Structure 1
């Protein structure tokens, strides 16, 4: 299958980013947290996104449409996951509640890596 041009790739990434960002925003609004509380929405967003990217990368093949990976992976899942918010939340929590900050930081990294691994395994199941 021929590779699409850069404008088409950028277009699908942007469109996917809109979709993913709206999903992340919806979760954050549905599950808000206070300054010293565990940010469950961001945690769930990143873990779910890592699981989904594991599935996606396991399922895509060289014969998949060339715009699927940039649309679903970079666009939707890139817009959905938010490791920048994770970093900011971790920093804020560190000043407010050290134990919650450490649990959040190490728990997110561990759960995200585990989720990506499990997602890849699930994606390889036929």
Structure 2
């Protein structure tokens, strides 16, 4: 039950943060901010939790960052962009995917460092 509460509380915080960013910068800007920053932070946390076990892992990863980043909104926006302009939509999808994966990679190695 403690795990469920951690995911719930972390998820609540992540969702509120994502919505606050959307209010400030709009949906398009929010997608870039939350997905790239969220991927970087998730990489950092995975590197950290690989070295040190913590009871807060679910709170931060599945809960907070799981709701802070937003694949469903990303998918919907990507689909709409593809319909409106295939080239713009394609560039958005490739750019967002590469930026998010790169950010996760950088975050992990920022915290974890090179494996020996």
Common fold: TM-score over 0.5: yes
Assess, with a 3 A threshold, how the Cα gap between structure 1 residues 61 and 121 changes in structure 2: closer, same or farther: closer
Aligned to 1:13: 7
| Aligned residue pairs, count | 113
Aligned to 1:36: none
Assess, with a 3 A threshold, how the Cα gap between structure 1 residues 111 and 63 changes in structure 2: closer, same or farther: closer
Q: Structure 1 unaligned segments of length 5 or more: list them.
A: 1-6, 34-38
Which residue of 28, 53, 56 maps to 1:64? 53
Mapped pair 1:90 → 2:78: yes
Give the distance between the partners of 1:101 and 1:123, measured in 2 at CA: 33
Would you tell me which structure has more helix in proportion to its own residues? Answer: 2
Runs of 4+ in 1 over 4 A off after TM superposition: none
Deviation at 1:107, TM superposition (A): 0.5
RMSD of aligned C-alpha atoms? Answer: 1.4
Aligned to 1:3: none
Q: Structure 2 unaligned segments of length 5 or more: list them.
A: none
Deviation at 1:118, TM superposition (A): 0.2
Aligned to 1:100: 88
Assess, with a 3 A threshold, how the Cα gap between structure 1 residues 61 and 95 changes in structure 2: closer, same or farther: closer
Aligned to 2:105: 117
Deviation at 1:61, TM superposition (A): 4.2
Give the TM-score normalised by the residue count of structure 1: 0.84
Assess, with a 3 A threshold, how the Cα gap between structure 1 residues 121 and 63 changes in structure 2: closer, same or farther: closer
Give the distance between the partners of 2:96 and 2:40, measured in 1 at CA: 13
Deviation at 1:65, TM superposition (A): 2.5
Deviation at 1:62, TM superposition (A): 6.5
Deviation at 1:108, TM superposition (A): 0.7
